[in-house]
Each structure stands twice: as C-alpha cells, then as structure tokens.
Chain A
Amino acid sequence: MSESRIRVASTDVPESVANGAYGKHQIGDNQYILKGIDFINGWRYAIGLKNIDICTYTFAEKSEFITKPFTTRKPIKSISLFANEVIPVEFASDITKANDWIQYYISIDDINWHRISPMHHQQLDPNAEFPPKIYHINSNDTTQDRSMYGYIQANGPVTAVRLKVIMQRPTDIENADSFTPILEEYSLRVVLYDDLLG
C-alpha cells in the first residue's frame, strides 16, 4: 500500500471536516482528509484593551497625605525630591502659583515640617520665598549658599524622614471642582553620612 498526499483548500473539504476536529476524516474508500495545524514563525502587531473608563470626577478643594517614615541605616546627610506632576493648564492663570498646587514638606521629627521644592521646580516669583530643593541635615558646611539650601539641625543622627504632600486647586475658574493636580510619582533622594554618628 502506498499513500499519495496532497494539500487542499478548506473550501475543498466537506463542511463536516472543515468544522470538525483535528485528525483524520474518512471521506471515501481508501481516502481520508487529514486536518492539522502548521506552525509558522511569524510576527504580530497587537493592541489589547482591558478597559476604557470614561469618567466624571469632581475633586475636593484641598487634600493631603503623609507618608510613613522612610528609615535609613546610616544617618541622613541631605534630602532632595524628584516628582512627576501634572498641573492642568487651566491653573496657569497665575503663573506664580504654579509651584503651589502641589506642595511638599519633609519632617525628621513629625513636628516641624520644612517645605521642599522638587528638583524640576524653578523660582517663578522673585519676590516670594522659594523653598529649598536640597536640605542638609546636621551639616557643618557653611560654604554653601544658605539661601539656596535648607539646613535642619537635629539633636542627634537622623535616620528617618517623612514626606507630606498637600494638593489644592483653584476655586475661581470655571468648573473648578472638575480639575485636579495629578502626582504620578515621586522619589526622595537621601544622601547618607559615611559613619553612623553623622
């Protein structure tokens, strides 16, 4: 016995075969159709979507959160902040407030809060006080410009810091409660002293 095999199109096979399972399908005496899958290494452009939410949100005028203490094994020498924030363009009526819609504070003692500017903030109002971007802790260095840097003196080595974020929105724009600043992520950059005593 010998076999001859020839590929045929799906349109040339009985419907029962086309819709049937993979494997052999007898179609006559000594004739059958083998249905199988060829594997092909190819490529795929794919777009997958779980959900698209179309939402209506209204927002409070002011909100805040405080983080748990971020602790370190060695004493903290300095602290700076990076943040990725989105401020609606509608808030831009007074550009000098652009840095104020999301305000950041750090504290090493949960009592005194020191406002800190994210590294990407720039001083917008020369007459207003611009919060430091970098705070030095227990620093004896007097060479740096104290108007640019913040200095926090503690009674001993500091190994924990909290961050407080206060968000707010204007109230004097149209549909003000439909807007919110968005904070997508932040990162506290903490430089440590080499020794445990700070």
Chain B
Amino acid sequence: MDTKNISAIVQMQTRILEDRMRSELENATTPEEIMSIKNRYAKKFFMSVGKPLTELFPAEAGHMPYAESHNAMAYQIVDDIDVLYRETELLGDYIVESFNYNQNEKTKLKNKIVYLSSLASNFNLVANEFQGNVVYFNESFNSYNNIDTEISTGSPINISTSEGVATLERTVAINHSPQGKIKIIAGNGDAGNYHIIDKMQTSTEGGIISITAKYASDDSPHDDPSAIIDGRPDTWFEYQMVNASDAAKAVARGYDIDWAKGKQRGERLRIKIVIELDSVRDINWIYINPYYPKNSTGKIHIYSLSTSRDGIEYKPINSEEIVMDNQVSVTPQSYTKDTLLVDDKQRKYNQQGVFSFPLTKAKFIEVVIDQPESYEETLGHTYYEKVVVKDDVIQPAKKVQDEVAAVFNIKPLRNAMRHIVTLEQNLSFEGQQQYVEYNWLAHSWTLKGYDFEPTTVRKRVVFYKNARDDGFEFIMCPAESYTKDQAVAKWQSMIGTTLNEIDGYKGEFVATEWGASPPDYKFNSIMETHIYPGRGYKMDAEAEREGNYTIGYNTYIKYVGYADVGGSKAEYRAVTCLVDQHHLASVMNPPKGRITIDNPRFDRGRILVDAIIIPNGLNDEDKFPEKTFAHIVYNGIEFKGEVRRIDGPYTYGIEIPYTDSNKYEKHPEEFEFYNELNHVFKTSEEAEQWVNTFRSAPKNGYTVRMPAEKGNYYSFEGMKLDTAVSINNPNIVAKMNVSNILIERIADLPLEEQEKYNGMDGEWRVKFIGGPNTIPMLGQNTVSATYVGVLSSEKIAGVPEDRVANAHGKSIAVEANSSTNPLTLPQTYTFEDDLYHGILELDESFVDGVHMNVLDTKVGPAYAERVYPGTVDEENENNRDEIVAMCESIIGTQMDGLEDPYDPDNPYSGMFTVNEYIIEEILVGDYLSFNVIFRGIGELSKVEYVPSYTGRYKGYVYLKALYDINGKEVRK
C-alpha cells in the first residue's frame, strides 16, 4: 500500500470558498466589483488554505453585535467543523484500509516464510554437499512453483501442498471428518493448554519490576476435541502433561498443584482418539495435521491407526503393523542425501501424517498418538494469599523475628498411601463427620553423633538428609532470614569436618544402623544445589556405597534431624504432621467441611515454609511456656495449636525392628513409605542425642523395642497412636490411642535374638502411665481403641441391647499369641447412623505387656473394594453397557473380596455387601481396559492363604479386629 496524502481539507475548503464567491458574484453589479470579489477570494484561498476559514467578527464594546456579521461567522464555523468531520471520516477509513492492507501483507508474508522455509530445506541439502560444482534441485511439493502446467500433457498429477505429496489425479475426493464426531478422548494427560503462561510482560515503575502474565488458556484453552474434525486449519486441540521439579513447585507450597504430573524425561504422553463417522464409509486415506506449540519438540509419534465398522473390533490400517510408532515432524524436514536415499518407513511418515491404505469400510477410526519428549515451558500457578493487616499499637511487636521454632509443611507425600496425621490432641470434624480415622507412624531419624554446640547465632537450622541408592539429598532449612553463606557455615559447623568434600563443604556423615549391612557412604560430588530464598538451601549429592550390603535392603536411608543452634539445645521438636482427607475419612462418612486439628506440633523434616510458628518470648530462661502457634488455615485444615514443653529424661527413641527382608524386597515402596514418615522430636535439655527408628515386623505386627540402657524411659509424650498401618498394606489400619506411654526394658534377649533384631538387646514392655507427674499437658491417661462396627437396620432390630452390653468389659487380646495384654472392651457405646463404636479406656492403669502388636488388631466388619476380575475390551459400547448392567445387578448383593493381597501370609476374607461401584478406564498399551471396583461393607474372617492368588482382586480393608461388635472372635 503506497503512502499517500489522503487529506481532503484543501479540496473542501476550495469548494466552500467557491460557493461563497459564487454567492457574492451573483449580487455583483459592476466589473470592478466582480474583480474585487475574485481577488479577495483568491487572496483568502492562498492565505488561509489548510487553516480555519472562519472570519472573526468580534463584537464591539458598547453596542450589540450585528446580526448579519454574527450569523455569517456562525455559518463559517459550521463550514469549518464540516471540513474537520469529513477529514476525520477520511482518516478513519484510511486506518481501516491500512489495517486490512497490513493483514493481507501479513498473510502474504507468512506464505512467503513457508516458501522460504521450503527453500531452506534445499539449502540444507546443498550445504551437505562438499563439492562446489554440485547442485540439488529439490521438490517436496509444498508449492506448485516448479510445475510447468503448460507443457504437461495428459492427466495432471495431483499435488497436495498441505500434505506435501504427489499422487495420481484424484477423481473423487471426500473428507468424511466434518460429518463425524469425536467419540473418545482418553490418555494419560489432560486436554487443553491449562497452566501454561503466556504473554509475559515486564515493566519497571519506580524501581519496582512488575511482571504481568496470563494463562494461555485465558484466550483459548484448545481443549475442545471437535477442533480435530472441523476441517479448519485455524483451530486445534491440545493434549498435555505438565509438571515441574519439586523445587520449582515448592513455590506453590502444596496448594492446588495436583495437576502436575509426569517426569521430565522417560515419560510418554499418549492420547487415544476415536472418531465416529456418520455411517460406515469406504476410506483409504488419513491425513493427520499436527499443531506444534511454540518451543515444542516439533514432532509426535503416531503409535497406531486402526479402523472398525462396529466400534468393537478394530484392525490396523496396515494389516502387517499393529503398532506403527512413526514420527510425524515439523514440515519441512532438513533433507539430507542419506534420508533421500533410503525409502524407509520412518521417512515415509516423516512429514505431516499421510497414511494411504487399502480401501476399508469403517465407521470408527482410532488414532493413538504418543509424545515421548517434553519441552521446557513456563507454567503458572494461581495462588491465594490471605493478608491480615495488624495494628502494631494494639499488638506490639515482639522479639521473635529470628526465632523460628517450627515450620509446617503439610502436604501429601510422594506415595499415595502416605497420608498420615500426627496429632497431640484430637481431630474434630465439623459437619456430619462423627469420628475420624487417621494414621500415625513415627519414623526413623537420627542425630546420633551430632554435637550441637551452642553458638552465638540465635537462629536455628533444621536440616534433612535423605539417602538413597542413587544419591543423597540434603536439605538445609535455615531460618527465614538466613543467607546462603550463613546456611553453609551452619551446615559446616553442624556436620563437622570429616564428611568427604562436597563442593567445598565438609562435614561428618553419620551412617544409620539400618538392617544387617550398615552402609558406608562416600560422597562423590554435588549434583544439584538449590537455594530457596527465605526457605532453605538444598544440596543433592551423589554418593556411592562401599562395603557389603544387600541390594534392595539398604536402599532407603534417611537422615532427618534438626539442630537448635541458638538457645538451649534441642529444645524444640517438629513432628511429622501430614494430613490426608482420604484417611481422615471414615468408611461411611467421608469428612466434609472444615477439619480442625488442635495442638499440632509436628512437622516433617522437609521444611517448606507454609507457616512459621513463632513462639512468644522464646529464650533460654523461659523454657517452653505454652506458646500459641500462629493461627493457620491450611488446605481446609485449621490448626490451633500450642508449643508445649516435654519434660523428663529422654534419650533414645523407639525402634520397630523390621525383620523380614523378603517382605521389603517385595514391597520396597512400602519400605520407603516408612522412611518418609519422619518426625523430629523436641527433647529435653538433658537429652544430648537420641535415635528414633520405627521399623515393622510384618509377620508379628508391630513391636516396640527400645535400644537403650536399662532404666531409661522413653516417652511418646502426648502422642497418640491412633492408627497404625500395616507394612504390607497401608490401608489396613488399626486404631489405638495411646497416651503417656512409658516403655521399659524388662529383660535382655539372648545373643541370637539380638542379632535377629539387629542390635535390639532386650525384651521390652510398654506401660501406659499417667498422672500429672509425668507429662502434665497430656491430659487423659488413656489407652483407647476406637471400635467400629456396622449394623444393618435388621441387625439393630435383631440385636438386643443387652447383647451389645454383653460385649462390655470383655478383653481383647491384642495379639493372637498374647493373652496377657488385654484391652477392655468399651463400657459405653454410641450409635451414629448405622455405625456403632465405643472407646476402650484404661484410665490411670497400666497395661502390662501391651505390645505394639495391637496395631495389627483387626476390627471387623470391614470395608472392602474388589476389582472386577479381568479386563474387557474397550470401544465396545455394548460390552460396556453389559458391564454397567452387571454392576447394577450386583449392587446390594454379597461378594467375597476382603482378601488382603498385600499380606498373603495373613489373609483375611469375608463377604461384603456391595453398595457402590466405580468403573475405571485405564489405557493399556493401545487399548483401553476397564477395572470395575465394587465397594461395600462386610465382615472379616481369617482364611488360609490361597497359593493360587493371582492379584486380580484388590481388597482394601480398613479396620480389622479380633472381635466383632458382638464380641465374636473373628481372628484366631
């Protein structure tokens, strides 16, 4: 578009002046007068062209303005305004025209770029030729430029520039897609481009840099699969799997980031699309036109292409290849001689996906596409920050800024079943929730060998070490205001000097006594270092293990500790506090609404500042007065807590020996599970060091053993062992509340037993002690086991209350072979809906010899899931309907399925009444399978292990007991 002067001011003013002159000339009577008018208008034209033509007739002081002059001036003003309006109109038109022109130019430019891109491929070809006198003339059919249509005779070849191929002339060409519909979209990702950050803009104002961004999905999420078949090149569908490193995701602090999944490498995003045509059609050509997001890998893999007439039986388009796994890449490719020489299948599909195949009758077309590579992308996470403005006058600031006592990080662990809550007092639910189940399990951690030398720095550092076969992970978590240098200095001072050099840092690494082969580690190098401003400092180090060890046995070793480097030694504790709604739920009444947790004082070693608890007046003189936690509302859980002092002589912790390495090798993930559960105790001033390791003995349930000197006392002080988890199936949860436990060594074990228990040197018993002399803030000294039962309405009617009462006071043997450690059945029972439970209480009394085996207590009736055996074909609606019909018919019926496949040595079985079903779709290979899970309530009874167990069933048994609600012994 040429630049031009579009102004019409001069023309319009000329016309106005002509009109005015003509008007005056009509009244002229003499040649002189005519000449005078002409001269005057000629002069006016040249003097005022481009300027307002209005002649001012100012009113004169002393008398009224002349109406003729005033009116003439008004008309002239109108003329000028008309000129300006007209000019504005012209400019507007011109802008519109310019815009359209630019759009056209832009389109042309884009086409030119496509063409140049094609040319570039030719240059690539030439560039690979080292002989100066060689020229390649290349044609990849992206344009018609090289075709001479005038000289050609006969039927012209069909060139599809969009597909980049030449074929015989097409006599019939029908695209059926626009008449079809997307029947299925399935895969391991999510539709759309959600969470992708787009349009970042940086601006600086007043020295403050602000970044504005929006989600790409705000413009268009591209999550509508119908874009695939709408025939429009300007619409597309995206399917994705996005994630970020844990360090990067830490910014989200566990909130609302459950959408992130997939490893950066080694993952494979897969989507299956089934297109249903309007009727059975003869097809012989499929063209897949991909869309590649900016910066993406520029290629996808067509995993398979199949067609079906009935939606049930699919056959691949190429009968020889079920799985093609061909790559479709950005067009054009960079051509090389070699690829041209080879007529390989990879090459065949290397451009946009053109698939020609024998004429096939089909109504359903299934396309499975893979993306095996990720690309780096900026993601976004919407956060909500509650800001409370405080009045400093009313609430004066306290000297607490450097005194971070505990830091909460309540987030689900990596493992789905590690949803643990550790509480000191109670959980209470609002809404319909009447009771809660929650898991607690302590975990190993050690400060063995550490010397917490007091320093003058009034800050404390919590550090966390996690060792695995593939390396060690250190997380140093300084107080909020720590700098990196301070953190490193503190690290050095804490760890000592004997640790192999790690990128300049030295320290002592204390190996754990785990299993039969204590490892000896040598650090090789630091792999990664992460600094989280205001939160911590993390180093990942590579380590190799020396000496004899059993593969898979010492795999997971974790060190968790903290050092209080200011004030009194080891005064604070932070204990694992993990919450999961799933385990907070009861079987029948999932939690609803807000959950309030009182007095949390637990934390994981992994410190990410979700909330900082700053005790008031923390100092050496004032040892642990009751301090109020900052009021925290976290993920629907409300904390109202206190930091309280633990008093008494504590040294070592508690160890649950894990004696069956085979079990571990079978279920290493569970082993890790336990290692993930860690907590940090605050010990008393007298405690210089302590070790607390929980391990589990699958066959014997849990045993508490204390590797410490005779006479020492170990206290869970305020801890409730409300639930525990079977090592074999974390979903098997027994429930027991323990408060004020005193654990005492009562006898030495023989040497072989010591070896068996890896250094356990004695038989121990657990006493439940009470009284204000021990630990004042613990409140009730109770041992309580929530006893959960289910009564059907018939049972309620049929079970007289006295029968229930008969159960009162009966003893529960907490272990099959332990008749000496009874608990007493509840004296009171309450009915809640169809649930029936009571509390076992042992106020002010010792329970001699109560082992932690009680944690393996199984309380029935139970909750169960059963996976419908086998899988069924996908895409078969009839088949699926059958499944649904089958499921519906099974509702209300009895089904066996309370086996525990994770614990075949201790199988339990029973019938349960199915009250719901869930159909899960799982993409397996290139087809979809269904799992049908039935859920219901049933009763347990022990059964013999069935060697032919195939793993087809998945039984989730939540509560198991030795007695059912009628006092009937169900496990013997």
Binding site for B on A (CB under 8 A): 1-13, 17-18, 22, 27, 30-70, 72, 74, 77, 82-86, 88, 90, 110, 119-120, 162-165, 167-169, 175, 177-194
The verdict on B133 contacting chain A, using a C-beta distance below 8 Å, is: yes
Shortest CB–CB separation between residue B190 and chain A, in angstroms? 11
A35 touches B383 (CB 8 A): yes
Contacts of B367 in A (CB 8 A): 52
Cβ A50 vs Cβ B291 within 8 A: yes
CA distance A52 to B225 in the complex (A): 11
Min C-beta distance of A108 to chain B, whole Å: 14
A62 cross-chain contacts in B, Cβ below 8 A = 154-155, 168
Please state if B390 and A66 are interface contacts (CB–CB under 8 Å).
Answer: no
Find out whether the CB atom of A2 lies under 8 angstroms from the CB atom of B134: no
Would you call B527 an interface residue if the criterion is a C-beta within 8 Å of the partner chain's C-beta atoms?
A: no
User: B167 contacts A43, CB within 8 Å?
Assistant: no
The interface residues of chain B lying within 8 Å CB-to-CB of A35 are 382-385
- C-alpha gap A35/B215 in the complex (Å): 14
- A45, B365: Cβ atoms under 8 Å? no
Interface size on B, residues (CB 8 A): 149
Bound form: Cα–Cα A3–B232 in Å: 52
Any chain A CB within 8 A of the CB of B412? no
Q: Are B289 and A182 in contact (CB under 8 A)?
A: no
Which of A61, A162, A167, A187 makes the CB contact (< 8 A) with B157?
A167
Min distance, Cβ A8 to any Cβ of chain B, angstroms: 5
List the count of A-B residue pairs having beta carbons below 8 Å apart: 440
Quick check: B348 and A39 within 8 Å, CB to CB? no
A84 touches B146 (CB 8 A): no
Q: Check: B916 CB closer than 8 A to any chain A CB.
A: no
> Provided the pairs A50-B233, A60-B155 are in contact, do residues A43 and B238 lie with their beta carbons within 8 angstroms?
no
**B451 sits at the interface (CB 8 A):** no
Which residues of the partner chain A approach B292 to less than 8 Å between Cβ atoms? 46, 48
Which partner residue on chain B sits nearest A162 by CB separation? B148
Contacts of A186 in B (CB 8 A): 138-139
* Chain B positions 127-153 with a Cβ under 8 Å from a chain A Cβ: 131, 133-141, 145-148, 151-153
B626-643 CB mask vs A (1 if < 8 Å, else 0) is 000010111110000000
Option from B180, B239, B379 in Cβ contact (under 8 Å) with A42? B379
* Residues in A whose Cβ lies below 8 Å from that of B610: 7
A57:B170 contact, CB within 8 angstroms? yes
- Residues of B contacting A90 in the complex (Cβ-Cβ under 8 angstroms): 358
Tell me whether B883 is interfacial, beta carbon within 8 Å.
no
**A190 contacts B135, CB within 8 Å?**
yes
Q: Mark B280-295, 1 if CB is under 8 A from A, else 0.
A: 0111111111111100
Q: Which of B405-432 contact A (CB under 8 A)?
A: none
Please, what's the 1-or-0 string for B341-357, where 1 marks a CB less than 8 Å from any CB in chain A? 11100011001001010
A65–B156 Cα distance when bound, in Å, is 6
Known: A47-B371, A51-B287. A42 touches B177 (CB 8 A): no
With both beta carbons as reference points, the residue of chain A lying nearest to B142 in the complex is identified as A185
Q: Name the B residues within 8 Å of A46 (CB-CB).
A: 193, 238-240, 269, 292-293, 296-297, 371, 375
Alpha-carbon separation in the docked complex, A64 to B135 (Å) = 24
* A107: min CB distance to chain B, Å: 10
The residue from A6, A70, A74, A83 contacting B137, defined by CB atoms under 8 A apart = A70
A4 CA to B159 CA, complexed, in Å: 67
User: When chains A and B are docked, how far (Å) is the Cα of A44 from the Cα of B339?
Assistant: 30
B125 interfacial contact with A, CB 8 Å: yes
Query: Considering the chains assembled together, what is the distance between the CA atoms of A84 and B347 in angstroms?
Result: 8
Q: Which residues of chain B are near A3, meaning CB under 8 Å?
A: 387-390
Q: Which 4 pairs across A and B sit closest by C-beta, in order of nearness?
A: A42-B244, A48-B291, A45-B269, A59-B168
Task: Assess the B633–A44 pair: CB atoms within 8 A.
Answer: no
| B residues in contact with A45, CB < 8 Å | 189, 240-242, 262, 267-269, 371, 373-374
Flag whether B251 is at the interface (Cβ < 8 A). Answer: yes
A184 pairs with B342, CB closer than 8 A: no
A51-B230, A51-B287, A55-B176 given; name 4 further pairs at CB < 8 Å: A42-B248, A46-B240, A47-B238, A187-B340
- A sample of 25 cross-chain residue pairs with beta-carbon separation below 8 angstroms, ordered by A number, consists of A2-B389, A7-B255, A8-B634, A10-B384, A30-B390, A33-B386, A34-B385, A38-B381, A40-B379, A44-B375, A45-B268, A45-B374, A46-B293, A50-B289, A55-B286, A56-B174, A57-B172, A63-B155, A63-B169, A64-B157, A182-B165, A182-B167, A182-B354, A183-B166, A184-B140
Given A38-B383, A43-B242, does the pair A182, B166 have CB atoms closer than 8 Å?
A: yes
Residue of B nearest to A178 (CB): B359
In contact, A178 and B358 (Cβ under 8 angstroms): yes
Tell whether, in the assembled complex, residue A43 and residue B134 are in contact, meaning their CB atoms are under 8 Å apart.
no
Q: What per-residue 1/0 map shows which CB atoms of B207-230 lie under 8 Å from chain A?
A: 000010111000000100001111
B203 → chain A closest CB, angstroms: 15
Cβ of B380 and Cβ of A40 under 8 Å apart? yes
Are B287 and A52 in touch, CB under 8 angstroms?
yes
Once the chains bind, are B146 and A67 in contact (CB under 8 Å)? yes
Is B236 close to A, CB under 8 A?
A: yes
Report whether A38 and B287 are in contact in the complex, using a CB–CB cutoff of 8 Å.
Answer: no
B384 touches A33 (CB 8 A): yes
> Does B335 touch A at the CB level, under 8 Å?
yes
The answer to whether B386 touches A40 (Cβ under 8 A) is no
Q: Is the CB of B358 within 8 A of A88?
A: yes
CA distance A67 to B137 in the complex (A): 11
Q: Do A56 and B172 touch (CB < 8 A)?
A: yes
Let me know if B391 and A47 touch, CB within 8 A: no
B430 to chain A, nearest CB (A): 14
A194 — which chain B residues lie within 8 A by C-beta?
133
Asked if B310 lies at the interface with its beta carbon under 8 angstroms from chain A, I say no
Q: How far is the CA of A178 from the CA of B269 in the complex (A)?
A: 34
**B237 CB contacts on chain A under 8 angstroms:** 48-49
Taking the closest CB of chain B, its distance from the CB of A46, in whole angstroms, is 5
The answer to whether B172 and A184 have CB atoms under 8 Å apart is no
The reply to whether B260 and A42 form a contact with Cβ atoms under 8 Å apart is yes
In the assembled complex, which residues on chain A have CB atoms less than 8 Å from the CB atom of B141? 183-185
Partner of B133, one of A33, A53, A88, A191: A191
> Does B316 have its Cβ within 8 Å of any Cβ on chain A?
no
Are the C-beta atoms of B285 and A2 separated by less than 8 Å?
A: no
- Interchain nearest-CB distance for A187 vs B (Å): 4
Question: Contacts A42-B378, A67-B147; is A184 near B385 (CB within 8 Å)?
Answer: no
- Kindly identify which residue among A7, A54, A184 contacts B176, using a CB–CB cutoff of 8 Å: A54
A54 in complex: contacting residue of B286, B297, B389, CB < 8 Å:
B286
Chain A residues in 8 Å Cβ range of B354: 182
Contacting residue for B384 out of A7, A120, A175, A182, CB 8 A: A7
Interface membership of B844, Cβ < 8 A: no
**Does the CB pair A53–B387 fall under 8 Å?**
no
B165 engages A43 (CB within 8 Å): no
Decide yes or no whether B611 CB sits under 8 A from chain A. yes
Question: Could you say which of A45, A85, A88, A192 has the most chain B C-beta atoms within 10 Å of its C-beta?
Answer: A45
Tell me if B369 counts as interface (CB < 8 A to partner A): yes
When distances are taken between beta carbons in the complex, the residues of chain A under 8 Å from B177 are 51-55
List, in ascending order, chain B residues with CB within 8 A of A7's CB.
Answer: 253, 255, 383-386, 610
Cβ-based interface call for B404 (8 A):
no
| A63-B156 contact in complex given A46-B371, A189-B134, C-beta closer than 8 Å | yes
Contacting residue for B228 out of A49, A64, A74, CB 8 A:
A49
Asked if B387 and A4 make an inter-chain contact with CB atoms under 8 angstroms apart, the answer reads yes
* Most central of A27, A33, A36, A66 by chain B CB within 10 Å: A66
Q: Are B385 and A36 in contact (CB under 8 A)?
A: yes
Partner of B365, one of A37, A40, A43, A54: A54
Is the Cβ of B285 less than 8 Å from the Cβ of A11? no
State which of B271-279, B460-468, B498-506 sits at the interface with chain A: B271-279
Question: A44 contacts B241, CB within 8 Å?
Answer: yes
Smallest beta-carbon distance A117→chain B, Å: 13
Q: Is the CB of B269 within 8 A of A47?
A: yes
- A189 and chain B: residue at smallest CB distance: B136
Q: Is B337 an interface residue (CB 8 A)?
A: yes
Of the candidates B339, B380, B385, B636, the one whose C-beta lies within 8 Å of that of A39 is B380
**Contact between chains at B140 and A188 (CB < 8 Å):** no
| Interface contact A31-B290, CB-CB below 8 Å | no
A44 to B356, CA, bound (A): 31
Shortest CB-to-CB span from A60 to chain B, Å, is: 4
